[in-house]
Amino acid sequence: MYKLLLSWRYLRSRWIALASIISVTLGVATMIIVNSVMEGFTQEMHDRLHGILSDVVVESVGLGGIAAPDEHERIIREELGADLEGVTAAVRVPAMLNCQVRGQWVTQQVMLIGIDERTYGSVSDFSKYLKHPANREQLSFLLRDGGFDSPLPSSGWEHRRLRVGTERAYREELLRAEETRRAAEVPPGVETPLAAEPSRIAESANEAPRADNAELAKDAQRAADGEAASDTNRGSAAVGAQAEGPLADVASGPAPQDPFRRRRSGGSDFAAAAGSSPTGTEGLGAEGMAAEGMAAEGLAAEGPANLFDELTEQHTGIVLGIAITSVRHRSQDGTVQDFFLARPGDDVQITFPNSGQPPKAVSDKFTIVDMYESKMSEYDSSFAFVPLSRLQDLRGMIDPRTGVGSVTSIQLRLRKGADLDAARDKLRRRFPIEQYQYRIETWRDLQGPLLAAVRMETTILNILLFLIIAVAGFGILATFFMIVVEKTRDIGILKSLGAPSGGVASIFLNYGLALGIVGSGVGMVLGLLFVAYINQIAAGLEWVTGQEVFDPTIYYFQQIPAIVKPFTVAWVAVGAVLIAVAASVLPSLRAARLHPVRALRYE
Amino acid sequence: MIRSHQSLPNGESVDELKDGSAGLGRDAGYGGWLARLDSPHPSRGVVDTAASESKDVAGPVVKSAAGAVAAASARRNGIHLAAKAVKKSYRKGHVSIPVLRGVDFEARPGEFTAIVGQSGSGKSTLLHLLGTLDAPDAGEIHLRGQRIDNIAARERDVIRNRRLGMIFQFYHLLPELSTLENVLAPVMIREGVFGYWRKRRENVARATRLLEMVGLGHRLAHRPRELSGGEMQRAAIARALIAEPEILLADEPTGNLDRQTGREILSLLRTLNDEHHLTIVMVTHDLAIASQADRTVRLVEGLVEQV
């Protein structure tokens, strides 16, 4: 009884001891905060790292790829059995992405991934990061009308129509000005005045990409020649072009050579019905393309031309990472904004190696149909997704005899909770590296260094912080020794009254326990409160210091993530209490061993 | 000065106190004196210090039949507390300084013995040995014939807690506890948390009564630092008595007090001895104070010099 009473009285009358416990409080609070934030970061990073990656990847080392994906898929299904939840084949090639921004070409380096849009969703969380709600349900490489999520500005067909319309109106305006000028210079009666200087016309229309022109010219040529005249619905476009008399002559000027032959057959799937829109035919004149003019001049009468109407058709769809074509910056009022160089509805040109030996560069135009934001900047700034069959086709990966396309990687999703490493090892045994040039890795292997770094960081932080609490323990030890010395006479009195040594020791142990509980309890409350209001506190600190504590342009997150794990909190709190008790053991023993007579005589 | 004597509550609590002392399982001759404290015939003579100074030990007390029986049985039992050929020396570095060099000492039941001597004569050391606060280098300490210097520490703790009461020159009250709690400290030490809680009201009542007896009924909630020296010594006496000890060991109880206060404290001890036949061993260097004891033992350089 006296033990509790005295411990309690000492607790109330010895504020110095409470001061010594403050370090425990701070240590506990810090540990809880750091662990929560690190846990939040780790969790967030795991999610993001894993986000668009599948669980296990079987990847061919060479760009040639895995020849018979179906056969491999069958073997993998056999190997993994029930653990396997989804399988998809993909082609990954490094590529160069070009897009035109205000007349300037911007080049980005991307990892071009051909995916099967029907099955890719089953192996990764890719689709849930897409910006169009309908695409999140089921990805389609057809451009949607609109309704993309923020931060995308107006996108899709609505943007495409607006952009193309504006461009055409602008060019028409330029042409008209040129015509007027020419009409003033050249006396009437001269037929086809523009034909005299075709190059100047071409220059005046420099809003249109030259390569595009050239390509289209080539296309038109081929279409007219009847080589690839599979599309009949493009005839109206040609007719529209033919109707513009003056331009037809312009087209007879020299056109740049297109190094790559455009394959319309693949892209035609994605073309909307060109003739359905009356604005399309009207606008073509403004487009003023030499190619169309040429087609119209020479061969229009012979059949439907295979022409591409930007207004109503799209190229093959592509899904880009949001950071590939956007620049994140901070506006004047301090909010973080994204500026988009290209958005869904715009076209980009992509150049990548084909599967030839040695590889040669292949180019094609793609229309951005959606973007994804996994918030993992590494992915968001490099991965571009296109339809698998189109990429196989462009790279020449389809066997002309069998019609089977090869792939460069097979991606697997395993059952939740399945042992990824075991599955990986199983597959590695089945496809030994000596025989098959496959790299078989789990997503953790792929992100190994980063995950290991985070883990090590957490461990070291915990060790350091626990050392802080241990230092606090030495503080308690010193303070308690002081208190024992100060209380020497009281200890003698208690002993003279018949208190056993154990009882005297337990006064100080109780005292230590009480201090530990108070210290770590307060620390726990402080820490949890801090974690709960961590973003507000960060904002407050920013306001006070004028220094940005958490810069969203650097980190992946807009806010500081924090996850409180009850187990960690309990562990930290109990650990701190134990340290406080452990620190009071020595002083207690000293108190217990005090000789009663010497203690009574102590001044 | 012992006005509290008149204000003692009578009657209803006597029986339970008797039960309590019986529960300790001690000889009836030593137990139950606190019950007699509340006897319906309080001594009139105690109020007058001069009267109690008279050597008439039996005096007014023998009016109580129970007291007479107790006194008689005490005398019959012979030696109460004894030191036999006790030696004790203290080490200072490599030099051993002998303090007690073979002391024989006896205290009879109900006897008020004073140990006197110069500073450094070893009288306090002897008292500590008698009170089992320290162990002799050689020799034995006997409490009613039972050797107590070589028993386990735990048993010595129990003896200190239940059978011996101690008061000191510097009062030695616990500064964190109130007067009442200080008096209750031995009971708290004896009982566990639940045991104490169960008997709390009873113990508090007893402590209050004791404090009233020593004249501190109005100081229950005060901290020791708010009390005067005399009041602190009274509180210490009350604390020594709460466990109803057989023997009261007093180490210079008046040494830190002015003459008048010292006399009051001494008369209180005298009363306890006179009325309740409490065996008292008191150490003092003041011969005037020692003269009030039944018997005086003089220590000179670690040896007894019988007076």
- Residue A176: per-residue pLDDT: 92
Nearest CA in chain A to B197: A1
A328, containing H or E segment? strand A326-330
**A490 interfaces chain B, CB cutoff of 8 Å:** yes
**What is the C-alpha to C-alpha distance for residues A384 and B141, in angstroms, rounded to an integer?**
97
Query: Do residues B284 and B255 make contact, with C-beta atoms less than 8 angstroms apart?
Result: yes
B33 or A67: which leads in pLDDT = A67
> CA B106, CA B141: separation in Å to the nearest integer?
10
- Which chain A residue has its CA at the smallest distance from B174's CA? A490
**Pair A312, A272: CB distance under 8 Å:** yes
pLDDT digit string, tens, across residues A401-450: 877 788 888 888 888 777 888 888 888 888 887 777 788 888 888 777 88
pLDDT class of A192 with cuts at 50, 70, 90:
low
How confident is the model at residue B307, as a pLDDT? 55
Rounded CA-CA distance A588/B107 in Å is 37
| Of B304 and A220, more confident | B304
Domain boundaries, chain B: 4-77+109-133+151-306
Chain A interface mutation, best of B90, B189, B244, highest count of A Cβ atoms under 10 Å: B189
Strands A326-330 and A336-340: antiparallel
Average pLDDT, chain B: 76
The gap from C-alpha A422 to its chain's centroid, in whole angstroms, comes to 28
Residue B77 banded pLDDT, cuts 50, 70, 90: low
- Cα nearest neighbour of B192 on chain A: A1
Read off the pLDDT band of B43 (50, 70, 90): very low
- SS3 at position B90: strand
| Dihedral over alpha carbons A534, A540, A541, A543 (to 10 degrees) | 150
Output Rg (C-alpha) for chain B, integer angstroms.
19
pLDDT of amino acid A403 = 76
Residues of B in contact with A10 (CB under 8 A): 176
How confident is residue A252, by pLDDT bands cut at 50, 70 and 90? very low
Contact across the interface for A490 and B189, Cβ inside 8 Å: no
Residue in A closest to B165 by C-alpha: A497
Please name the residue of chain B whose CA is at the shortest distance from the CA of residue A10: B176
A490, A500, A597: residue with CB nearest B157: A500
Rounded average pLDDT over A106-134: 82
More confident residue, A225 or A464: A464
Mean per-residue pLDDT, B53-68: 41
Contact of A597 with chain B, judged by CB distance below 8 Å, is answered with: yes
B131 contacts in chain A (CB < 8 Å) = 496
Give the DSSP H/E element, type plus range, for residue A172.
helix A157-185
Here the ipTM equals: 0.77
Q: What are the Cα distances from residue A484, in Å, to A218, A439, A487, A578, B189?
A: 97, 67, 5, 20, 19
* Nearest-angstrom CA–CA distance, B246 and B280: 9
Q: Could you tell me which of A115, A167, A84 has the C-alpha nearest to residue A319?
A: A115
pTM for this entry = 0.63
Span A140-182, pLDDT tens digits? 888 888 777 777 777 788 888 888 888 888 889 999 999 999 8
Closest approach of A478 to chain B, Cα-based (Å): 21
End-to-end CA gap in chain A: 27
Q: Residue A105: in which H helix or E strand, if any?
A: strand A104-115
Say what the pLDDT of residue A305 is.
52
Q: Is A11 on the interface with B (CB under 8 A)?
A: no
pLDDT at position B306, please?
A: 60
Q: Supply A576's token pair.
A: 């701190």
- Nearest CB to A493; choose among B158, B174, B192: B174
Mean pLDDT within A256-285: 42
Q: Does A602 touch chain B (CB under 8 A)?
A: no
Chain A residues in contact with B175 (beta carbon < 8 A): 490
Q: What is the pLDDT of residue A526?
A: 93
Output the pLDDT for position A87. 83
Q: Are B138 and B83 in contact (CB under 8 A)?
A: no
Ordered DSSP codes for A386-444: EEHHHHHHHHT-B-TTT-PBPBSEEEEEEPTT--HHHHHHHHHHHS-TTTS-EEEEEHH
* Residue A345 and residue A159 in contact, taking contact as beta carbons nearer than 8 Å: yes
Query: What residue spans define the domains of chain A?
Result: 2-47+449-601, 54-143+315-442, 157-302
The pLDDT of B85-97, averaged and rounded, is 87
Q: Where are the alpha helices (DSSP H) in A57-149?
A: 69-80, 133-137
Residue B74 has pLDDT above 50, yes or no: no
Write the pLDDT tens digit of every residue in A322-376: 888 887 777 777 677 778 888 888 888 889 888 877 888 888 888 888 888 877 7
SS3 assignment for A487-519: CHHHHHHHHHCCCCHHHHHHHHHHHHHHHHHHH
Instruction: Name every chain B residue with its beta carbon within 8 A of the beta carbon of A593.
Output: none
Tokens of A448: 């190994």
CATH of domain B4-77+109-133+151-306: 3.40.50.300
- Closest CA of chain A from B228, distance in Å: 19
Nearest to A591 by CA among A474, A511, A472: A511
CA distance A46 to chain B (A): 53
CA dist A323 and A129 (Å) reads 13
Q: Do B185 and A597 touch (CB under 8 A)?
A: no
DSSP labels for B209-225? HHHHHTT-TT-TT--GG
Q: Residue window 491-520, chain A: list those with CB within 8 Å of chain B.
A: 492-501, 503
